[in-house]
A and B are shown apart, each in its own frame.
Chain A
Amino acid sequence: MKAVTWRGVNDIGVEDVPEPTMLNDHDIILEVGLSATCGSDLHLMGGYIPAMRAGDVLGHEFMGTVAEVGRGVTKHRVGDRVVVVSFTSCGQCWYCRQGLYSLCDNGNPNPGITEALWGQAIGGCYGYSHALGGWAGSHAPYIRVPYADQGAFAIPDGVSDERALFASDAAPTGWTGAHQAGVQAGDVVAVWGAGGVGQMAARAAMLMGAERVIVIDRFDNRLEQVRTHIGAETLDYQQVDVPGELRELTGGRGPDVCIEAVGMEAHTPGAQYLYDQVKQQMRLQTDRPAAVREAIYACRKGGTVFTLGVFAGLVDKFPLGAVMNKALTLRGAQQHGHRYIPEILDRMSRDEVRTEHLATHVMPLDDGPKGYRMFKEKEDGCVRAVFRPGG
């Protein structure tokens, strides 16, 4: 079968790969309907997460139709339309039972890599390097889904494929950020990054009762999507001083909750960007944390900063003094989607969560390299390139 693969740094290809097979009783084989690019894929593409091997199939945000069912699967039947959470989690270990599904003890068959990097291994993720399990990704006609009773969710009638697709990763990641950051009714929430995850974090914060939600980015089309489809306020960081504007918007306090949805390749005006780029390219730091620094600086005293964008390793010039002296709570997580997807699908069915606008460019698998190029370079207002393996 054809699949979109990682061939090397900034080299995406389309090639023939073997079809997946059932390897465990709790597997299903899914016929992929739609599969989205994600901002975190760009870190793989650029070689910033150096655990990809040539030929690895990309893609971790997807939905489709059940094609085969393992004998241990009880929730799904052939022909079911499902969306699959991007993390492979067993649902049985202590972390899963606490709702911390991305920390699953059993879902990463290559625990040695992240254990060496971070002290303990986290769960696995489709198409996201051998550090997170070496699972084949979803930019292909078929994908194997382990622990299917845990990770695949029936899509309600009336929710379109294009909407349900983003219940796989962008929406539950946004929900993870807003919920784990402790957003409460009346809060002022600032979100750095207006991509799919940032938009969903903003929507989640609004539905959790935040009084004001402000999203920060530099791309007009993404900020327009935030105003039109999400209903939040926006700031263009190339046009205004973000901490100054946030202080003015909050009576001098700063936001109660600051959610960073940018990750390890942050852009920022001025010398800080040049400094971070030089250090990253010289491998003196692995990640560029400009948005995290600004969030910590802008957050109100005693507030919460949540790192929702993907980071891999070490950063420089981290404002620990502000974290300590302002009594901030600093948290982070990959998505614990299993606990949020049922609620998200329910809200999607009631039109409280709309995501179709994120799929600005839908194309066949053969256009994989073009789709990633458009997504990376933001060509033609590309917010997400989405592949339809069925053509």
Chain B
Amino acid sequence: MTSSLGNVASLAARAGGSVVRQVRSVIEPSGGRRPGAGQAASGWLAVTVLREPSDIDTAALPAPLAECGDRIEVRVRPAADGKGTELAARLRDRPSSGSALSRLSGGDPQAELRSALRRAKQLLEVGEVLAVDPAPHGKRTPTPGGALLEAWTKVAPKAGVR
């Protein structure tokens, strides 16, 4: 009986540990696997721009990337099958990449670079960065759900690049 109980306890502990690992791997990838949060270990963040490689001069980058100065390095190469040009950037002094949770809460150390890449893509493809604020809206009723969404909406523009 003691042995059976022990087996059950062992199984429960293993099952519990597995659940914990699964949850941790979602909210904190470094706990369950190599750092990444869905990002390559090399640290490059990339967008594909529907322009010829010759249209992108790394010595005269669009303003959002140029403003990053020497803090970033930039790579340009043709995209496969005529899909344009892959424009990639990474921080020279790379912090450990943020977890999914940190990205949702605005703690992503690469958020500014994601935003810069996305705005650079818009400038190269469309010629302008799309503005959305101020958007007409009515009275905001304060609710916990609304506050959470508001916080997420503030960081959501600094994504869209993986």
Interface residues of A (CB under 8 A from B): 1, 3, 5, 7-8, 13, 15-21, 23-26, 50-57, 72, 88, 90, 92-94, 97, 105-113, 115-116, 120-121, 130, 133-136, 140, 144, 146-147
Contact = CB atoms under 8 A, between A and B. Distances in A.
Given A54-B146, A94-B83, A94-B84, A106 B130 contact: yes
B118 A21 contact: no
Contact of B138 (A26, A57, A111, A146): A57
27 contacts: A7-B138, A7-B141, A8-B143, A18-B137, A20-B136, A24-B128, A24-B131, A50-B145, A50-B149, A52-B149, A53-B149, A55-B141, A57-B138, A72-B127, A93-B50, A93-B121, A94-B83, A109-B131, A109-B157, A110-B157, A112-B103, A112-B152, A115-B159, A116-B104, A116-B159, A130-B152, A140-B136
B121 A105 contact: yes
A109 B132 contact: yes
A136 B162 contact: no
A112 B160 contact: yes
B50 A121 contact: no
B136 A18 contact: yes
Given A111-B118, A121-B160, A134-B153, A25 B137 contact: no
B130 A107 contact: yes
Contacts of A51: 149
Given A54-B140, A54-B146, A21 B159 contact: no
Interface in B98-118: 100, 103-104, 118
Contacts of B162: 115, 120
Interface in B20-44: none
B136 A19 contact: yes
Contacts of A57: 136-138
Interface of B: 47-48, 50, 83-84, 100, 103-104, 118, 121-122, 125-128, 130-132, 134-141, 143, 145-146, 149-150, 152-153, 155-160, 162
A77 B103 CA distance: 43
B1 to A, nearest CB: 36
Contacts of A72: 127-128
Contacts of A115: 159-160, 162
A26 to B, nearest CB: 7
A90 B157 contact: no
B141 A112 contact: no
B143 A54 contact: yes
A385 B140 CA distance: 26
Contact of A136 (B136, B149, B157): B136
A130 B136 contact: no
B146 A130 contact: no
A19 B137 CA distance: 9
Given A17-B136, A93-B50, A116-B104, A25 B128 contact: yes
B100 A116 contact: yes
B159 A55 contact: no
Nearest to A121: B160
B159 A121 contact: yes
Contacts of B118: 111
A113 B150 contact: no
A136 B135 contact: yes
A118 to B, nearest CB: 12
A23 B153 CA distance: 19
A90 B49 CA distance: 13
